[in-house]
Amino acid sequence: METHQRIVDAALRLFLANGYVATTLDAIASEAGISRRTFFSYFKSKDDIVISVMRDGWASLFAELLKTSPDVPPLEAVCDVIARQLARYTTDETAALDELMRSSESLLARKQSFYAEQEQALFDVLCEVWRQPERQMGLRMVAILCIGALKLTTQTWGNQHGGKQPMAQMFREAVASLKAEL
């Protein structure tokens, strides 16, 4: 795990300093103090590094959601957990990662695919907390709506210019807009 994290940290530093496209695998390996061959023991590509950062965030979100009481409404629980997770990141960190994701067509495509995977994973977690089979359609809708609200939030937030509103606040506003329309 230590080498994995060293590679991620080195890659993110280089991506943010030099740009995603300009950062080579050799530069990442050198910065992490490993060989190119060792790099491929941990990751298949540069894209995989960025996706692993996203995957870690989602793992934390799912772990927190699994601690939720089944007495809490699922939509409320998911929205609260997502907003708390988003609030953990500074605006500068989030802006840098968002800019990084937008700098590469392959990363943008991977991000969209990743959202689809997380929608299914979120549904699976919801089914673990709220176990009644008759709730599955509603839980599926909660997963779809929350991922949709998150996608809209990140897109809107990334398109802002100048003083950025905190992403957690934007997410809460997106969910409030959705609730108002329902």
Q: Which CATH number fits the domain that encloses residue 6?
A: 1.10.10.60
For residues 61 and 132, membership in a common domain is answered with yes
Do residue 62 and residue 37 come from a single domain? no
**Domain of 149: which CATH number?**
1.10.357.10
SS3 30: helix
In whole numbers, what is the pLDDT of the chain averaged over residues?
Answer: 91
Looking at the structure, do residues 5 and 72 belong to the same domain, yes or no?
A: no
Residues 6+ away with beta carbon under 8 Å from 16 = 96, 100
Domain that holds residue 167: 46-181
Distances (CA, A) of 4 to 10, 48, 104, 171, 179: 10, 12, 22, 31, 41
- The domain tally of the chain equals 2
- pLDDT value, residue 96: 78
Instruction: Let me know the angle formed at the C-alpha of 36 by 31 and 22, rounded to the nearest 5 degrees.
Output: 60
pLDDT one-digit tens code per residue, 21-52: 899 999 999 999 999 999 999 999 999 999 99
pLDDT in tens, 84-119: 998 887 777 777 777 888 888 888 889 889 999 999
Q: Are residues 53 and 127 in the same domain?
A: yes
Shared domain for 35 and 64, answered yes or no, is no
Residues 34 and 83 in one domain: no
Q: How many residues does the chain have?
A: 182
Please indicate, yes or no, whether residues 50 and 39 belong to a single structural domain of this protein: no
Same domain, 39 and 54: no
Mean pLDDT to the nearest integer, 121-135: 97
For tokens 């089979």, the residue is 133
